[in-house]
Chain A
Amino acid sequence: MQPQHIMEGYRVLDFTQFLAGPTTTRLMAEMGAEVIKVELAPAGDPTHLLPHRRAGRSGYYIQQNRGKKSVCVDIRNPKGLALIKELVRSCDVLLENFSPGAIGRLGLGWEVVHALNPELIMCSVSAFGQTGPLSSLPGFDYIAMAVSGVMDMIGDPDQPPYFPMLGIGDVSAGVHALAAINAALLYRYKTGRGQYIDISLLDAYFHSHEINVQAYSGSKGKIQPRRSGHHHYAAAPLGLFHCRDGYLFMVVMARQWGPLCKAMGRDDLADNPNYDTNLKRVERRAEIVAIIEDWLRDYDRDDALRILQDMHVPVAPVLSVPEAMEHPHLIERQVVRTIQDRGYGELQIPGIPLRFSEFPEPLDLQAPYLGEHNREVMTKFGGVTAQEVAALEAEGVLHTQPLPEGVATVAGL
């Protein structure tokens, strides 16, 4: 039978919350995996409370958890832990993003789960990794960003640094985890062996240094990587330019300097020996920025954009989030897409960034209500009957949020 998507038939026990781990399992659900999200009773994933909320639903939670099944369990209760251990036996992947050591203290460390299920792939996602002096410290995206030398590279040189208002490190660490689990699944397919994977935000952020680390090391400290505001320190013109009503970003490499001069009606500059190499342009950056901004002063952003695009200069308008969400390219490719949540209604979220020619249509997915799949999952894989599930709910070992009126449950795949 033709699978609906690549990961159909894989079952993932998802102990993650907040953002980094849920990103990984969200992409797995988009690729057809059965993701059982274990939420800690009674409140579940803390992001149920994050904005924007409507009809008791969080848009944040919906974005990260579509297509997953929710079981809500008190795992400090021995009965709850026993249920989870039963689930471990029938899952292919276990993912967690607690602080290092916490999953072990819960009784679900690698040695334990490996013994329960030798084919299991376990992946831990953390801020600083499972070992090393920082491993036990609490951490979020920006904390790892600060330690990685990334935050120090953003902002004006004579001012404090900035940080971006989005979770680049969390999402990126989630994609790193997805890649590592995939490779481990391929390996398991051939050898039947499970293994443990250690993914950290610090690793993922540090991995993004394409120039800085080798340049500082190779030059023995002569090249000091520094934030440099709106323009790159090593290439010119490469940065942000003011127009009459907004900003343009331009990346002008050697081949594009001539076309840029032509676009500005300044053919004379193309062969000017003051500007004919990148090194000279970097040394005379202030002059070049002034020339370009003098020219742009008479243009609206989008008019200047068209002129530069016609000359094939790599250029972009600096779009706000609302502008990007309305851009025809992002809409046509569903980089931004509109989904329908059962309770929340219509919502726009980012699209799936992995595009497969064999699976052009996205799966139809819903974010679960808290504990919505307790009964289905536990009777199928937890080794208990429907009556026992009801008793466990009464005891508080399992927690099930009642579905609002008119909301139908989503059956398993």
Chain B
Amino acid sequence: MVPKHVLDGYRVLDFTQYLAGPAATNLMVQLGAEVIKLEIGPHGEPVRNFPYCRAGRSGYFIQQNRGKKSVCLDPKHPQGLDIIKRLLKHSDVFIENFAPGVIGRLGLGWEEVRKINPNLIMCSISAFGQEGPLASHPGFDYIAQAYAAVSDLIGEPDRAPSMPMLAFGDVGTGVHALTAVGYALLDRERNGAGGQWLDISLLDSYFHYHEVSVQAYSASGGRIEPRRSGSHHYAVGPSGIFKAREGHLMILALLHQWPILCRAMGREDLIEDPRFRDNDARMAHREAMIALIEDWLQSLPSDAAALALLEEARIPCAPILSVPEAMAHPHLIERRTVRTIEDRLLGKLQIPGMPLRFSKYEVDENIQAPLLGEHNAEVLKRLLLCPAEQVWDWERRKVLFAKPV
């Protein structure tokens, strides 16, 4: 039988909420895995109420949870805990993102679950990791971002740092988790290894993004002090955000591209100008360099004309698009980097596209985000051989929960 996608046949018990964990299992679903989302009754995943909401549905929830099956239960009820343990026997992956220690107190820590299923891959996602001085502190994306010295590198040097209005830490951590789970599965299949426990954190993922700062500070014995530097890079240039006639443009003309930029500006005289001859000189005369480029941009009839000239010269450049502009850009639409999905209740909704593109597979756009407890009966019947009457009884006794449509 031809698999429908690369993770076809794997079953994931997903005890995550909010963003980092659900981002990992969101990708697993789109890679063909069966994801059973465990939600805690009676209300389930907290983001079911996150904006934007319409027809009782949250666009936020839909974006992260399409294609998952929802089983909603009370994990503190002995019967609810027993259901989870029985589902673990039928799962390849168990993923959770509670604060460290919580899953153990629920009776589902690594030592416990590995006894239930020695081939299980368990992945724990947290803000700071499972041990260490900060492990027990509560954390969200921006908290780990601040500890990872990422926030400190955003904004004007003489003012408070600025915060990005999106959670690349949570989503990035979800991708790290996906990767670790996938390689642990590969280890199990190919090397005959059993299960193992994965410790993924936002702090690790954020700190992993430091491509220059850590080694440069370390190796220079502190002489290179990484600092935020507003709209222009502190170490290389021209590299930054330039005021153009209508809006702002991002321009990167590093090393060999400086003379090309000078020619594109019709200013060949600048190529040999000692103030701008190499990167060090340009950094020493940064303000003058920025003024020259911005004067040139102002002299052009439009930003589009500036981009056309720069693109013609193959200088890396871009308009700084707003989210609505990006969503309307023909490139993002053609590649379905932004895509339109259809929720059963909410209707049409645009969400980011699938970032992992395989030559063998189309993305299945017909998957639906589940209603709370929608798959209680289906999952328990198929995997645990529970009759429908048993499921109804458990729903009545508040072991299981389902929200009627």
| Interface flag for A229 (CB, 8 Å) | yes
A153-B166 in contact (CB<8A): yes
Given contacts A51-B235, A171-B208, 14 further A-B contacts (CB under 8 A): A132-B331, A133-B331, A138-B315, A150-B166, A154-B164, A166-B211, A176-B355, A179-B356, A180-B357, A202-B332, A221-B324, A321-B213, A347-B218, A357-B197
Q: Roughly how many angstroms separate A191 CA and B392 CA in the complex, as a whole number?
A: 41
A213-B351 in contact (CB<8A): yes
Q: Roughly how many angstroms separate A349 CA and B163 CA in the complex, as a whole number?
A: 25
* Residue count of chain A within 8 Å CB distance of chain B: 151
Q: Name the residue on B nearest A238 (C-beta).
A: B142
| Interface flag for A233 (CB, 8 Å) | yes
Closest 6 pairs (CB-CB, A-B) = A217-B350, A348-B218, A149-B326, A218-B52, A316-B146, A214-B59
A193-B357 in contact (CB<8A): no
A161-B241 in contact (CB<8A): yes
Chain A residues within an 8 Å CB radius of B266: none
Q: What are 16 pairs between A and B in contact, CB < 8 Å?
A: A60-B215, A63-B211, A145-B250, A149-B322, A154-B165, A162-B231, A165-B226, A183-B356, A184-B6, A202-B332, A217-B349, A313-B138, A318-B152, A320-B152, A320-B225, A353-B208
Within 8 A of A (CB), among B207-239: 207-220, 222, 224-231, 233-235, 239
Q: Roughly how many angstroms separate A112 CA and B166 CA in the complex, as a whole number?
A: 40
Separation in Å of the B167 CB from the closest CB of chain A?
5
Segment of B101-109, B188-196, B298-306 engaged in the interface with chain A: B188-196
Chain B residues within an 8 Å CB radius of A110: 359
Chain B residues within an 8 Å CB radius of A227: 162, 165
Separation in Å of the B47 CB from the closest CB of chain A?
10
Interface flags, A143-168, vs B, CB<8A=1, else 0: 11111111111111000111111111
| Interface flag for A172 (CB, 8 Å) | yes
Chain A residues within an 8 Å CB radius of B141: 251
B155-A162 in contact (CB<8A): yes
Q: Name the residue on B nearest A314 (C-beta).
A: B138
Question: Beyond A133-B331, A148-B326, A214-B351, is A208–B151 a contact (Cβ under 8 Å)?
Answer: no
B210-A354 in contact (CB<8A): no
Q: Roughly how many angstroms separate A209 CA and B323 CA in the complex, as a whole number?
A: 9
- Of the candidates A19, A182, A225, A356, which one forms a contact with B165 in the assembled complex, judged by CB atoms under 8 Å apart? A225
Chain B residues within an 8 Å CB radius of A377: none
Segment of A67-75, A263-271, A328-336 engaged in the interface with chain B: A328-336
B6-A166 in contact (CB<8A): no
| Interface flag for A390 (CB, 8 Å) | no
Chain A residues within an 8 Å CB radius of B325: 149
B199-A209 in contact (CB<8A): no
Q: Name the residue on B nearest A222 (C-beta).
A: B52
Interface flags, B107-151, vs A, CB<8A=1, else 0: 000100000000000000000110111110111111111111111
Interface flags, A314-349, vs B, CB<8A=1, else 0: 111111111111011110110110100000100111
Segment of B36-44, B73-81, B176-184, B267-275 engaged in the interface with chain A: B176-184
Question: Beyond A215-B59, A321-B217, A324-B148, is A354–B139 a contact (Cβ under 8 Å)?
Answer: no
Chain A residues within an 8 Å CB radius of B357: 129, 180, 197-199, 203
Chain B residues within an 8 Å CB radius of A319: 146-149, 152
Question: Beyond A249-B143, A318-B152, is A134–B138 a contact (Cβ under 8 Å)?
Answer: no
| Interface flag for B243 (CB, 8 Å) | yes
B143-A316 in contact (CB<8A): yes
Within 8 A of B (CB), among A211-251: 211-219, 221, 223-234, 238-240, 242, 247, 249, 251
Separation in Å of the A202 CB from the closest CB of chain B?
6
| Interface flag for B204 (CB, 8 Å) | yes
Chain A residues within an 8 Å CB radius of B309: none
Interface flags, A28-61, vs B, CB<8A=1, else 0: 0001000000000000000000111010000110
Chain B residues within an 8 Å CB radius of A149: 321-327
B216-A52 in contact (CB<8A): yes
| Interface flag for B404 (CB, 8 Å) | no
Question: Beyond A153-B166, A165-B227, A329-B133, is A214–B356 a contact (Cβ under 8 Å)?
Answer: no
